[in-house]
Structure 1
């Protein structure tokens, strides 16, 4: 091949490579169409402060990725104190936010009402419900009457403004805020105007959301592209999941009681051992959970007092009196732990209360029965402990001799003599350094 031909051939290859590289460096908008992204976060254990932090992180990630939508699924109730800041963040989001109460039959409570009102699109699973019998705009009674009225009006103004912007039923939202109201998904969609936008299962959401238009707080109009979109699950880290579990009053209650039992076992057997360290860690974890769940401090004191009374049963031996008093304090403390008007749906499980009370009661009954049995037993030390023991005749008792009992030789006498060497006899009494023995009854 001629040199000139080789030159043109190499130049053509070089130009081809440059064209391929240029196409590869083109931005997605000029190349292949970028695939839509929908971020999805699930609040599994109720909206507690740690769960609210997870939702906030999911919103920031969705905004940073300029996602087509963020879906927030709420399972169960939660804390209104934690829900208000989340609702304000969702309402002011730079991406479309879909608030979803699921799965089928879920009870969103007042937190559900707050979130579906704040979200750009409100969705619920079939047979799910939102609302609560108490007013959503709940204000602490520690404020003056005038301040309470101002705070209630401010909350109602905010909720109705969100409902009006979304085209939702303003009258129902105001009723829920001022007096309290509960509504199921199907009824919420049938009202005119509706309380929510759609009723669907989680699998049906992409189809039902496709093409819906929303107006963001910035004034921007966005059209949802959810069909075929890549779903990015925002999952909690190990620490976030742990704090969410600790913030559940039921979990914190059980940890507190188990920790108290472990500390009691350590005190009953002095020494820095595994029960003491484990109990201290469990109690610290429970206290952290109580702080996260915003429980009533007086209820925690009732729980501590109940554990102390149950533990004193072993030392004082009140024959069950202290145990009963301690169990009453424990049950009252557990029932009083959560304010249902501020954190509905997060109260301590009745099953956990009954299980813990039954476990402590059985343990106390066992201790009392053991103590009573020990106190009713004959002495097990000294010479009196020999009475009733079997002895072997080592020197014929006629009427005096020697017997072997408990590893020692004893002088013995009997009014049933003679007793031959090697014969087994029963110690019937102690007279100084002599044992009174007699022949074994036939039943022995």
Structure 2
């Protein structure tokens, strides 16, 4: 009987575990709720798109209650923005886009990302908006192209803002059509965002218990006291995101070109060529990501061509001036969007340094051309020699330890006189007497061994 009672008690215990384990497991077996946080700073590029997509996948796989995207961006490519928006809409995890820290902005493409989030929040003193389409250098688009692009973007942003109410939809349309922007407090009043919070912890406290509608289900957020897990960019993502900064990409491009030019001018070292090639490859990758304007790239390449040509065939700096103008113009229009722009100060600094370097190189080339030759027959022009056999008009002279066939085009010159070389034809020197020269005994040439120079030793005659 006692065994039967013990068996019944054990069965009741198992039934108790079965009934109440769902309430216990979330607290113990499953551990604390988690919230993943991504941090996006800078332009919206393909690297950022891969980072956000990876963050969404990780948040989905680890069962995070919420994915927070901390955002500070001046905008970026429309194509990349649309790719990120699609990934956010299709995500099976709630996403909160948080414009932070104070002073941050989410303009242009960033506005679309904020509205695409299930929850939109901003830190105090932040901005959103100014999403009008513009041309490659920030100029207004042609009327027809602008109307088409604007209508497409208006339709998209109105769809994203629709669940936030009519005032939010009306403001979103103005943000695209007339580049309207709003401070955080104005955005909250218009219903564009859900809250203004100073930090992520306050954000999690305010959204706790809120219902979020995903594509396939509705989720009730349990974020109070949740463990916050930062998901930073990987080292590769950080590196690629760093070099896609317009200024870094520009420096890599210039270093790459200079490295290759230096290697071509001084072959054999390889170090400059290898470094130049690496910089150039990384620069071209960054330019591809940043949507380069090939006209600007061509102008920069033309500038270096003009610099090199001016060194090889000096034009007294005319081509260098043209190269500097081409270089500056190419740098100013290097990218196809106003949100990727090279610092004007950096452009000026690089242009001045490059111009100074090639100006120095051109000066050296000019001086080399004007310098008297020091090798070959031309190097003998102006040298003084002693007559070894009478020049009437032909004979021999002694010069630099060698006997040369020579001739004079004036009066005959006697042996022992000092003459100056004024020209050369083949291996025969043309000489003239020094105005102040006098016949001498050649003592200044004593101790030097004669070496015959000329077509043949017989043609030079024998020294008496």
TM-score normalised by L of structure 2: 0.70
Any idea what SS the aligned residue of 2:229 has?
strand
Residue deviations 1:366-423 (CA, integer Å, cap 9, x gap): 2233334445555556467989xxxxxxxxxxxxxxxxxx999xxx999xxxxxxxxx
Listed as ranges, the matches of 1:355-366 within 5 Å are 355-366=349-360
Q: Secondary structure at the match of 1:31?
A: coil
Taking structure 1 as reference, are residues 229 and 380 closer, same or farther at Cα in structure 2, changes over 3 Å only?
same
Residues 189-225 of structure 1 deviation map (CA, whole Å, 9 limit, x = unaligned)? 2x3x322222233355445534252432326333333
Gaps in structure 2 of 5+ consecutive residues: 1-9, 385-399, 403-415, 419-435, 445-464
Partner of 1:86: 84
Deviates more, 1:296-305 or 1:26-35: 26-35
Partner of 1:188: 187
Looking at structure 1, the residues matched to 268 and 176 of structure 2 have their Cα atoms a distance apart, in angstroms, of 56
Cα gap change, 1:70 to 1:385, in 2 (>3 Å): farther
Please give the alpha-carbon distance, in whole angstroms, between the structure 2 residues aligned to 1:289 and 1:115: 23
Please state whether the residue corresponding to 1:232 is helix, strand or coil. Answer: strand
Q: Deviations over 1:40-98 (max 9, x none)?
A: 11112321011111101101111122211111122222222211111122133222111
- Tell me if 1:293 matches 2:287: no
Q: How much does 1:354 deviate? A: 1.8
Relative contact order, higher structure (CA 8 A, sep 6+): 1
Trace 1:193-232 onto structure 2 (pairs within 5 A).
193-203=190-200, 205-206=202-203, 208-211=205-208, 213-218=210-215, 220-232=217-229
Distance 1:413 1:334, change over 3 A: same
Hey, what's the Cα distance between the residues in 1 that align with 2:85 and 2:255? 36
Residue of structure 2 in register with 1:352 after alignment: 346
Q: Does 1:116 align with 2:114?
A: yes
Report the CA distance shift for 1:372/1:154 in structure 2 as closer, same or farther (over 3 A).
Answer: closer
User: Partner of 2:318 in structure 1?
Assistant: 321
SS of equivalent residue, structure 1 residue 283: helix
Q: What is the RMSD of the two structures over their aligned residues, measured on CA atoms?
A: 4.0
- For the residues of structure 2 that align with 1:435 and 1:73, how far apart are their CA atoms? 93
The alignment partner of 2:105 has SS state of coil
Query: Could you tell me how far 1:345 is from its partner in structure 2?
Result: 2.6
Q: Say whether the 8 Å CA contact 2:72–2:106 is kept in structure 1.
A: yes
User: Which residue pairs with 2:234 in the alignment?
Assistant: 237
1:133 shift after superposition: 6.5
2:35–2:229 Cα contact (<8 Å) kept: yes
Secondary structure of residue in 2 paired with 1:337: coil
Q: Deviations over 1:236-262 (max 9, x none)?
A: 222222222233332222111111111
1:169 aligns with 2:152: no
Q: Distance in 2 between matches of 1:252 and 1:196?
A: 35
Question: Contact 2:130 / 2:179 at 8 angstroms: preserved in 1?
Answer: yes
How far off is 1:134 after superposition? Answer: 2.8
Q: Quick one: distance in 1 between partners of 2:124 and 2:303?
A: 43
Residue-by-residue CA offset, 1:339-369 (whole Å, 9 max, x unaligned): 33xxx43212223212211210221222233
Give the distance between the partners of 1:323 and 1:359, measured in 2 at CA: 12
Deviations 1:227-285 (A, max 9, x none): 33222222222222222223333222211111111111111113361212221222122
CA spacing shift, 1:143–1:180, aligned 2, 3 Å = closer
- Tell whether 2:243 aligns with 1:266: no
SS of 2:128's equivalent? Answer: strand
Give the conservation status (yes or no) of the 8 Å contact 2:205–2:224.
no
Is this contact kept in 1: 2:260–2:273, CA < 8 A? Answer: yes
Report the Cα distance in structure 2 between the residues aligned to 1:365 and 1:181, rounded to whole angstroms: 48
* C-alpha separation in 2, matches of 1:67 and 1:81: 28
Tell me if structure 2 keeps the 8 A contact 1:54–1:240. Answer: yes
1:101–1:112 CA contact under 8 A, matched in 2: no
Task: Give 2:98's aligned residue.
Answer: 100
Kept in 2, the 8 Å contact 1:136–1:180? The answer is no
Shift in CA distance, 316/124, structure 1 to aligned 2, threshold 3 Å:
farther
Which residue in 2 is equivalent to 1:421?
none
CA distance in 2, matches of 1:202, 1:225: 18
Question: Contact 2:98–2:114 at 8 Å: present in 1 too?
Answer: yes
1:147-162 to 2 correspondences below 5 Å? 152-162=150-160
**SS at structure 2 position matched to 1:187:** helix
Tell me which residue corresponds to 2:7.
none
Cα offset for 1:122? Answer: 1.2
String of CA shifts for 1:115-166, please: whole Å, max 9, x gaps. Answer: 111111112222221222734999xx99995x98676545423322321214
Name the TM-score, length of structure 1 as normaliser.
0.73
Check conservation: 1:45, 1:245, Cα contact below 8 A.
no
Equivalent residue number for residue 423 of structure 1: none
Specify whether residues 264 and 178 from structure 1 end up closer, same or farther in structure 2 by C-alpha distance, changes over 3 A only: same
